[in-house]
Each structure stands twice: as C-alpha cells, then as structure tokens.
Amino acid sequence: MSDHNTPHYEDSGIPQPYHLVAPSVMPLISAFAAGGFFTMMILFMHKVKITLGSFTYQFGAEAIVIGFCCLAAAMFFWWKDVIKEAYIEKLHGPLVKIGLRYGMALFIASEVMFFVAFFWAYFSSALYPAGGVWPPKGIHTIDPFDLPFVMTVILLLSGCTVTFAHEALVEGRRRDAVQALGLSVLLGILFTCFQAYEYLNGHFSFKDGIFPSTFFMATGFHGFHVLVGTIFLIVAWVRTAKGHFTKESHFGFEAAAWYWHFVDVVWLFLFTSVYWWGSAPQVPGAHG
C-alpha cells in the first residue's frame, strides 16, 4: 500500500525528485551505429574498394543508406524508451526536467560550434582569396533573391507556426497546436525539396574549387539539420495529437521548438553571408 504521507513530485511516479535511468544497451548500440554511419561516408567519399579473391566491392551510396538506417533505428528505439519513461512511467520529475533543459541547451551550443567552424572556413577563404577576388573567377553564383529568398520565407514562416503551436498548447488549444505543427512539418519538407532542387540544378559542383566546397559544406550541413528538425517536429506533432503534452508539462515539444528556431537563425546567417554577401560579383579580398 502506498503511504499517503510520502511526498510525490508533480505527477511523477517516484517519491523523490531524482531519476536513476534503467540499464539500457541502446546508447552503446547508437554509438556503434553512428560510428558505422560516418565510417561508411568516409569510405564512400574516398572510393575505397575491398577485394577478396575474385570478389571486389566499392563502397557506394547504398553503404551510406544502410548506415543511416541503422543509426535511425537505434535512435528510434532509444528515444522510444525515453518517451515511455516520461509519459507512461512518469519518471521525469522537476529536477529531471531541469536536467533535460540544460542538456538540450548544451546540445544546441555544441551545434553552434559546428557552424562556427564552417563559417570560419568560408570567411577565411572569402576574405583572403587565393586569386584576389571572391567569388573566384568562373563561378556562376546563385541569385540570393531567387530560390534562396523563397526558402528563407518558408523557414521563417515555419518558425512562426511553431511559435503559434506552442502558444496554443500553453493555452490548452490542442487542436490548434496540432494543426500549426502539421503546417510546420509541411513547410520543413518543402524547404528540403527546394534545397534538393537547388543542388541538382546548380551551376557548380562540390569539386569545382574552394567556393563550392565551403558553400556545400555550410548549406548542406544546415540542410541535414533541417531534416533532423523536421523529424523532431513530426514526433512532437504525433505526441501532441495523442495528448502526451499538457499546459504544464511539454518539454518534448519545447525541445523541438528550440531546435527549429536554432535552425532558423543559422539559415539567416547563411542567407546573409553565403548567398547575399558572398555571391556579389567579384568581391575584393582583404589581400588582393
């Protein structure tokens, strides 16, 4: 029998504010899956071949797809357990939620440093160009106020719909929150489709010099984050529709919103520096 004098914390299923995570093999499996995925990418980019007798295999795009699927499966089962802890077992008390918030904030901070590295590479090449001009001669850049501007509007609109969904959830209007989140997901997918179209119809390729290399690394890495953020929003959308979130407890939604707004802000920097400033005809270098 439960002791009515035992203090409980909010709607938590535990009589104290701490939570000891149950032993799980999923973090280890996820680490191996992530390592395998990036190893497959390296082998693919370096066109590595394996020869065993008369059998020869060169790592192709299918190796990357297999690696990504393994990683996605590991993440799915791991985060499924986390959702179960939060919603079914109700093990996430106030202190746990504080830890989750700090963890998400630190994760986004680490992502910021990734983009700092890519922006550093871009500006280092742009301000000190090898040929004295930037973009390099012979590079036909993308008009920033053509497709990139449309993509900017799409991403900013998605940020607005995510904010609207959060306000609706806080006010108890779950149906409005679901609709706004669904629209956010559609806008995220639309952005990815436009970026894929831009890549397929661009006037330069990754191997055409330093400008294409820095361009594709920065915008491609951001595109990957948009894809991850869209999946994050889909999960939040499904959980919102199922009633997992309440006015008082909805950090799973907030984490997705934080991540999406981070993606928005990074894109504004990309549009301003890479598409707009960086594509101006023959920008002089600092040391011509």
pLDDT tens digits, one per residue of 116-127: 999 999 999 888
pLDDT per residue over 144-183, tens digit each? Answer: 999 999 999 999 999 999 999 999 999 989 999 999 999 9
Task: Give the length of the chain.
Answer: 288
Phi-psi region of 139 (alpha: psi -120 to 50; beta: other; left: phi over 0): beta
Question: What CATH number does the domain located at 96-284 have?
Answer: 1.20.120.80
- Max distance between CA atoms of the chain, in angstroms, equals 81
| Residues 168, 272: Cα–Cα separation, whole Å | 32
At 138, the pLDDT band (50, 70, 90 cuts) reads confident
Q: Does 112 have pLDDT greater than 60?
A: yes
Task: Provide φ and ψ at 55, rounded to 5°.
Answer: -95, 130
Q: Where are the domains of the chain?
A: 20-90, 96-284
Separation CA 225–CA 263 (nearest Å): 7
Annotate 218-256 with b (16+ C-beta within 10 A) or e (fewer). Answer: bbebbbebbbebbbbbbbbbebbbeebbeeebbbbbbbb
Q: Cβ(252)–Cβ(244) under 8 Å?
A: yes
CATH of domain 20-90: 1.10.287.70
